[in-house]
Structure 1
Amino acid sequence: MAPTDFDVAIIGYGPTGLTAASLLGQLGHRVVVIERWPTLYGLPRLTHIDGETARLLSFACDIDEALRDSSPIESYIFYNAKGRPLVDVGKVPSLPMGFPAHISIHQPDIEAAIDRRVRTLTNVVIHQGTELTGLKSTAGTIELAMKRDGRVETLRSSYVFGADGARSFVRSALGIERDDNGFNERWLNIDGERKRSMASSFEETKQYCDPARGHMFLPIGKNRQRFEFALLKHEDTAEMEKAESAWKILRHYHGVGPDDIEIIRQLVYTFECRMAQNWRRGQAFLGGDAAHTMPPYMGQGACSGIRDAANIAWKFDLVLRGAASADILDSYELERRPHVDNIMRSATMLGKVANTHSRAVAFIRDVAFRFNLVPSPPPFPAFAAGVIQDDRSGEAGKAVGSVPPQGQVSIGGRTGRLDDQVGYRFALIAENNPAAVLDPTRIGFLRDLGCRLFTLADNAGPGVERIVDTGGVYSNYLAEKHVAALLTRPDTNLFGFAPGMPDLPRLVDELRQKLGWRKSALAA
């Protein structure tokens, strides 16, 4: 490969690009960020993350700082026009993640916290207020042209991660088309900062599926409020973005006026559901809205983009270090596309419920929900292929490729969430000392990989740390799956299990084979 200026060029500095920049920067790679806007957005576009996403963000920033103005979401109920509940989307089954299952957040806090971490990394260069104007592959690298301050500059990067939104320049430059799932609905979004206490009902997240006009509201963190209203066919977008239109519709539906909130954002969005036909072209990859957009009814748009960044960053790391085969980069789309597709289908189904415009169809819909004829959104799927264990038989096999629970643990006298102590790296947790069954070659591979080795028993030794399983989360999880050990990836997904301690060498060998391991001495 020809010499380059950077290892990875990240295009776009929203939640997906920020996360990728932080993770890759902390891993020591030369990263450049190109973002067309001169500053962070500063307003709350996204308002929800789930507990799994909070885990990933904890690797990218000070998570307590990022969530300082957040609050748990206890429910997300869809009601019909008469106010009768149809379904609670917040009750989708999930494992404990060390954070609330659903969190109302203030996006600027999260972006600022990640940006603050990124700016401590001297190996990350950030070009804000810079427009990407060209992208082409040359001699195994990618040449990028960018325009800033009226000047055009070029740079070369080994890889590109396009996280530049739904209108992605990277996607267009690569000639990648999108498949449209046919969901296109206009909604008016009004965000406000509370001037005084409001009715307690506004602390809840509610979606009213009224064929006359669908509408919803939810809290944004602790002191802000979002209202959304479906637009009718005859309503003009520009007219509905005027302040007087906002106050009129807020008074009509909620009795809310200028004495209650200060409007900080008012926009008409067209909710859509589109997927890029390919997420990769050569050395360039797509993530976040550049790869997939979905209706907001699962609150998973930004969560999916953050998962994209966490999935690909550790793979870039191993390939760039020459430790693993570049073939593992093919697993990025292989793992992420089906997962996103599943969420998009659920979000579209809920979107159709929320956007039922016919009273007759709404009546049939309400009856179907009343008699439990409509299935609830399913749990998120595990990966079916990729960098995961092949044997997925039995009860334990169903969990391979999913995200295991997170609990409080004590390691070396320090107590806290496991992720906070392990970091963005592989981890092996066994009921007994893994060094008792792993030979020096396998131990050396795991050490070179940067994998932390843990035992739940009181038999730690050189290179193996004792976990005091404070809440019993890990011992109970192993017992529930009838296994002796689990191996997790940096993105918290399960690589696989060892049914018994004698099976652990085979699990380690399979990880080595799946990575296409090429290096015997990788610095941890």
Structure 2
Amino acid sequence: MNNNKKGSELPSTAVDVLVVGNGPVGATIAALLGGYGVKTLVLDKSHEVLLMPRAIALDNEALRILQLAGLSEDAFEKIVIPEVKMHSPVLGQFSRANTAGCIDGHPKLVTFYQPDLEHAMRNQVSRLKTVTSLGGFELENLVEESEGVVASVRDQDGHVHSVRARYLIGADGASSRVRALIGQEFEGQTYAEDWLIVDTRNRHQSAIDHVEFICDPRRPTPHMPAPGGRERWEFMLHPGESREELESPESIARLIAPWINPQELEIERKAVYRFHARCCNRFSKGRVFLAGDAAHITPPFVGQGLVAGLRDGANLAWKLAWVLHGQAAPSILDTYDVERRPHAQAMINLAKLMGRLVMPRNKVAAFFIHGMMRTLALTPASRKYFEQLDIKPKNIFKNGLFMQHRRSDKLVRGSLFPQAWVRNTQQRIQLSDDTLGHNLTLVGFGVDPLSLLSTAQVFSWIKMGGHFLQIGPCGQRSDSGCDFIEDLNHEILPLAAKGTLVAIRPDRIIMHHAPGTEADSLVRECQILMASVDSTADSVSITINEPPRLRA
């Protein structure tokens, strides 16, 4: 399959953004950029979606980003995981994580089949007029100029072509050519471990419905279901064991015998992977950015590898779009590294810690560690820390493109704005992110934001790519001059006093909030954050006959 809906030749003119790599992160970035109307070219060495075993877990934040990128709830199949269990051969189940329920409208944890996700995202990209996606091209070199980047790419016939782009994103995986070319190769220890991954099929009636870690120091084994009647096992290799030895049919049958009769074993895929824990010192250099495994590699013990890459894409794509559209200054691009790298590193550290906790290498350490975890589970505070996933680092930025947080506020600046079920004026029930669209949105809690702003301030906000929205209680009807939604389950309105204004970035991060009486300061401070040029409305000559609206 050729990934490009327009043929196989490179565009003759320059593009706004060149994305190198068309895996799930690269394709999601392309979908986001296309949604923002950015002229984007995606290049990948392969034409086809790879079928080798890779990512298998997504959390609620990842599903929310896929929603932002345009994927519907049924775009690809998922299995909702209610719990993660940890078993010791001596102590039995010694710990668990409760992953039942939803956060922000999405399940806390699901498993999925990566090729299905990639096909769904490529289909989404194919609908976007500003995005071209091509296989059969490999990056060789890049040169940064004052106004952009010139990339040299080689096609499958050996011919070299030049591509000009204003910005370039390397989403080309763990062995990233982009990362090497900008001198950001991984440093420090890697914590490398070799694991055999085995995916089986036709397990519709037999697969487990949760994730389990068999924490046997003789051979630690994560085990989980996947859509389409699939089931996965991951077996850690011992020192001295070879890839060829462990991948043999006899070895796989022996390893998987506790779960499957070897006569019934149907292997879909098998591969030995080396798990690493690595993070770049910087996620960008000049006009070149790194995302996903090109920027950081996370061991799989907390299922955050692909999730971290999707967070990268959501954070970076809108900032590039706003700069390219002239709605923000290029200086905001510096906040990509400032915001994303600390959280990516925190997730890597958590994955390493969980690897040590659940998979110690000898019986004495296993008995001590697993016994301690079982004991800790007896106290409510420590049980909540592990079982309710409080151990997972919150996606809250300490520094970046937002006003600093104040301790007493329920709405945390630099964190995700909550998502809930809402109803619009056409009586359509939907998730609230779908009402925000691809915008910088000024949301009024029980108040029309337009009623608190002067004409100049309204147009200052619009020039920054801004729109307006009012949230009211369930059952209230709109008398607002802007778009209006009802908070059906009263999940959003209790988070701030009536009359509060909240500035929400396109990636759903809270940029600022303030009482409606401080509306002018809020708009001015957001302008400063965006470093927007000509951000006053003095030169705007527009007559307002009726208030601006987001959508009909």
SS of match in other structure, 2:103: coil
Q: 1:333 to 1:196 in 2, by over 3 A?
A: closer
Cα deviation, 1:369-398, whole Å, max 9, x if unaligned, reads 1222976324414101111112x1223277
- Residue 173, structure 1, aligned to residue 189, structure 2: no
Q: 1:114 to 1:359 in 2, by over 3 A?
A: same
Separation in 1, partners of 2:144, 2:243: 40
- Residue 57, structure 1, aligned to residue 66, structure 2: yes
Q: Is the contact between residue 433 and residue 460 of structure 1 (CA under 8 Å) also seen in structure 2?
A: no
Q: Comparing 320-329 with 119-128, which one deviates more in the overlay?
A: 119-128
Q: Match for 2:192: what amino acid? A: N
- Residue 455, structure 1, aligned to residue 459, structure 2: no
The alpha carbon displacement at 1:160 in A equals 0.5
Separation in 1, partners of 2:295, 2:311: 12
The alpha carbon displacement at 1:43 in A equals 4.9
SS of match in other structure, 1:206: strand
SS of match in other structure, 1:117: helix
Q: Match for 1:137: what amino acid? A: E
Listed as ranges, the matches of 1:86-165 within 5 Å are 86-90=94-98, 96-148=103-155, 149-165=157-173
The alpha carbon displacement at 1:195 in A equals 5.0
Cα deviation, 1:313-348, whole Å, max 9, x if unaligned, reads 110011111221100000000000111111111111
Q: Is the contact between residue 382 and residue 398 of structure 1 (CA under 8 Å) also seen in structure 2?
A: no
Q: 1:297 to 1:247 in 2, by over 3 A?
A: same
Q: Is the contact between residue 4 and residue 141 of structure 1 (CA under 8 Å) also seen in structure 2?
A: no
Cα deviation, 1:144-202, whole Å, max 9, x if unaligned, reads 11111221111111111000001000001111121344422211101122255215xx1
Separation in 2, partners of 1:8, 1:96: 33
Give the corresponding residue for 2:293: 289
Q: Is the contact between residue 240 and residue 246 of structure 1 (CA under 8 Å) also seen in structure 2?
A: yes
Separation in 1, partners of 2:25, 2:283: 14
Give the corresponding residue for 1:399: 412
- Residue 249, structure 1, aligned to residue 255, structure 2: yes
Give the corresponding residue for 1:412: 425
SS of match in other structure, 1:38: coil
- Residue 33, structure 1, aligned to residue 42, structure 2: yes
Give the corresponding residue for 1:81: 89
Could you say which structure has the higher helix fraction?
Answer: 1
Give the corresponding residue for 1:370: 374
Separation in 2, partners of 1:268, 1:65: 31
The alpha carbon displacement at 1:91 in A equals 5.1
The alpha carbon displacement at 1:224 in A equals 1.2
The alpha carbon displacement at 1:416 in A equals 0.9
RMSD: 2.5
The alpha carbon displacement at 1:99 in A equals 0.9
Which of the numbers 22, 25, 36 marks the counterpart of 1:13?
22
Q: Is the contact between residue 52 and residue 271 of structure 2 (CA under 8 Å) also seen in structure 1?
A: no
Give the corresponding residue for 2:441: 427
Give the corresponding residue for 1:268: 272
Q: 1:459 to 1:471 in 2, by over 3 A?
A: closer
SS of match in other structure, 2:187: strand
Separation in 2, partners of 1:86, 1:516: 52
SS of match in other structure, 1:334: helix
Which of the numbers 511, 521, 526 marks the counterpart of 1:495?
511
Give the corresponding residue for 1:469: 487
The alpha carbon displacement at 1:255 in A equals 3.1
The alpha carbon displacement at 1:37 in A equals 1.3
Q: 1:101 to 1:195 in 2, by over 3 A?
A: closer
Separation in 1, partners of 2:477, 2:524: 24
Q: 1:278 to 1:6 in 2, by over 3 A?
A: same
- Residue 329, structure 1, aligned to residue 338, structure 2: no
The alpha carbon displacement at 1:472 in A equals 1.1
Which of the numbers 528, 531, 538 marks the counterpart of 1:516?
531
Separation in 1, partners of 2:84, 2:520: 45
TM-score, normalised via structure 2 length: 0.87
Listed as ranges, the matches of 1:175-214 within 5 Å are 175-195=183-203, 197-198=205-206, 202-214=208-220
Separation in 2, partners of 1:398, 1:258: 56
Give the corresponding residue for 2:8: none
Q: Is the contact between residue 65 and residue 113 of structure 1 (CA under 8 Å) also seen in structure 2?
A: no
Q: Is the contact between residue 9 and residue 31 of structure 1 (CA under 8 Å) also seen in structure 2?
A: yes
Cα deviation, 1:349-378, whole Å, max 9, x if unaligned, reads 001123311111112202321222976324
Q: Is the contact between residue 60 and residue 102 of structure 2 (CA under 8 Å) also seen in structure 1?
A: no
Q: Is the contact between residue 343 and residue 393 of structure 2 (CA under 8 Å) also seen in structure 1?
A: no
Q: Is the contact between residue 396 and residue 483 of structure 1 (CA under 8 Å) also seen in structure 2?
A: no
Q: 1:407 to 1:43 in 2, by over 3 A?
A: farther
Q: 1:60 to 1:256 in 2, by over 3 A?
A: farther
Cα deviation, 1:473-499, whole Å, max 9, x if unaligned, reads 1113335xx98232221111121322x
Which of the numbers 220, 234, 242 marks the counterpart of 2:240?
234
What is the total number of aligned residue pairs between the two structures? 512
- Residue 220, structure 1, aligned to residue 226, structure 2: yes
Give the corresponding residue for 2:401: 387
Separation in 2, partners of 1:59, 1:428: 18
The alpha carbon displacement at 1:131 in A equals 1.0
Q: Comparing 507-516 with 282-291, which one deviates more in the overlay?
A: 507-516
Unaligned runs of 5+ in 1: none
Q: 1:512 to 1:86 in 2, by over 3 A?
A: farther
Give the corresponding residue for 2:4: none
Q: Is the contact between residue 43 and residue 107 of structure 1 (CA under 8 Å) also seen in structure 2?
A: no
SS of match in other structure, 2:46: coil
Q: Comparing 332-341 with 107-116, which one deviates more in the overlay?
A: 107-116
Q: 1:483 to 1:180 in 2, by over 3 A?
A: farther
Q: 1:4 to 1:395 in 2, by over 3 A?
A: farther
Q: Is the contact between residue 279 and residue 286 of structure 1 (CA under 8 Å) also seen in structure 2?
A: yes
Q: Match for 1:127: what amino acid? A: L
Give the corresponding residue for 1:24: 33
Cα deviation, 1:254-287, whole Å, max 9, x if unaligned, reads 234352x531210111111000122111110101
The alpha carbon displacement at 1:295 in A equals 0.7
The alpha carbon displacement at 1:20 in A equals 0.8
Q: Is the contact between residue 7 and residue 29 of structure 1 (CA under 8 Å) also seen in structure 2?
A: yes
Q: 1:228 to 1:83 in 2, by over 3 A?
A: farther
Percent of paired sites with the same residue: 29
Q: Match for 1:186: what amino acid? A: D
Q: Match for 2:512: what amino acid? A: G
Separation in 1, partners of 2:189, 2:510: 31
The alpha carbon displacement at 1:4 in A equals 6.5
Separation in 2, partners of 1:230, 1:187: 4
Separation in 1, partners of 2:263, 2:105: 39
Cα deviation, 1:81-132, whole Å, max 9, x if unaligned, reads 336333334559x982111111122222221111111112232222212111
SS of match in other structure, 2:269: strand
The alpha carbon displacement at 1:517 in A equals 0.9
Q: Is the contact between residue 10 and residue 17 of structure 1 (CA under 8 Å) also seen in structure 2?
A: yes
Separation in 2, partners of 1:411, 1:44: 42
Give the corresponding residue for 2:319: 315
Separation in 1, partners of 2:184, 2:527: 33
Q: 1:23 to 1:165 in 2, by over 3 A?
A: same
Q: 1:86 to 1:346 in 2, by over 3 A?
A: farther
- Residue 306, structure 1, aligned to residue 313, structure 2: no
Separation in 1, partners of 2:190, 2:358: 15
SS of match in other structure, 2:409: helix
